[in-house]
Amino acid sequence: MFRRTDSQATFGSLNVLLSPKKIAKLEKKHWAGGFRRKALPVLLANEETFRPLFCEDNGRPNKPVAATLGVIILKEMFDLTDEVAMDNFEFNASWQYALHVEPDEAHVCQKTLHNFRVKMSDAEENGILTYTSLFDEVVTAIAKDLGMKLGKQRLDSTHIRSNMAVLTRLALFTHTITAFVKKLRKQHPRLFEALPQGIHERCVDREGYFADSPSSDGRRRLVQCAADVWRLADRFRGHRSVKGMPS
């Protein structure tokens, strides 16, 4: 169920918890101040755009859209995995200051980030909504605050959306392969043990890690997952019992 961000400050906010000296440093010498001044107002002003992604009258209230978008954007800015981005959001005061979130409220799970990316990608692909102008506005606001000259540079914020799509496909590949390999281990242990070591490492020994990647690794890992799918399909092409498995 959709809800907008409640911007009312409390005694738990960083403006109260941090000293005036640190607040001044964040505002004048740190990226967090610029993000909070320029980018965050754009995200807050456009929250209503995301209402169609949520049910109007059913389910728990959504995580604040501006904060969720902010985590996704900062993840792209610093080329982080979901895990590291979530860790920064929960424990890094500069992230919390940039997104105007109280420390006790600074939490988001990986499923929330994944589902939000999926909803945005689906809305884009189905022509329901488009967020290109929003990301362009955020990038322009940050660039102006930093005094960047854009005359000879390509102003391109669409990579944020394309990277989200890549990470969504990567998660789909990884989770599908992992589900299949788990069932194979239970139903056909000998065939499971004979799988290539690389598949064991990516899908069994460190389950889930391959889907959580920084954007710079996303496309490379997507190619690797596609190759793994082909190897598995080719390997068990003649095994009727394996081909009959629902996974």
pLDDT at 7 over 80: no
Q: How far apart are CA 146 and CA 164, in angstroms?
A: 25
Query: What residues does each domain of the chain span?
Result: 14-156, 159-243
pTM of the model: 0.71
pLDDT score, position 10? 57
pLDDT above 90: percentage of residues in the chain? 32
Q: Which helix or strand (DSSP H or E) is residue 65 part of?
A: helix 65-78
Tokens of 36: 């909070």
DSSP calls for 125-141: HTTS---HHHHHHHHHH
